Amino acid sequence: MQSILIVIHLLVVVAMVGVVLLQRSEGGALGIGGGGGGGGGAGFMTGRGAANALTRATAFLAVAFFATSIMLTILSRGVGSGSSIIDDAAGTAVPTAPQSTDGGLGGDGQGILNQLEQLQDQSGPQVPQSQ
């Protein structure tokens, strides 16, 4: 089911890119299809009716794109076993180990500074060698 939906999704994406590229350029940045004088009436589809058809096709393909994206998301949710951001926000995620209240700066003997002091005590003072 998921592979069929992926194929439909890819077809919708390719069709949407094609329809968007067929539309008349409003800015004229590329100099083709409309804007400032490059191809006024010699386009593939001209007139108001063609613009409405392409606009409607773009809207239909956009709805299909979002629908297939949501369906793929729902289908993939059952496959994986990872946690979700929404679950974390709702408070239903698996709780993690309690953190120290001092921010890891010491106090319980396992903070970063205490670990560095233990390493320094074990190895002795480090004197740089001059050449």
- pLDDT value at 122 more than 90: no
Q: How far apart are CA 63 and CA 55, in angstroms?
A: 12
Supply the range of the domain harboring residue 24: 2-81
27 vs 115: which has the higher pLDDT: 115
SS3 124: coil
pLDDT at 56 over 50: yes
**CA dist., res. 88 & res. 126, Å (int):** 45
Q: What is the pLDDT of residues 100-119, one digit of tens each?
A: 555 555 455 567 777 777 77
Least confident of 27-31, 33-37, 58-62, 94-98: 33-37
Query: Token pair of 46, please?
Result: 């001209």
User: One-letter amino acid identity for 6?
Assistant: I
Answer whether residue 88 is part of any domain: no
Does 123 map to a domain? no
Whether 101 maps to a domain, the answer reads no
Per the model's pLDDT, the better-predicted residue between 84 and 33 turns out to be 84
Contacts of 96 (CB under 8 A, 6+ apart): none
Overall number of domains in the chain: 1
pLDDT score for 24: 77
Residue 20 lies in a domain: yes
The residue among 120 and 36 whose pLDDT is bigger is 120
Q: Which residues contact 45 (CB under 8 A, 6 or more apart)?
A: 22, 53, 54
**Of the candidates 2, 1, 4, 43, which has an alpha carbon nearest to the alpha carbon of residue 24?**
43
pLDDT attached to residue 60: 95
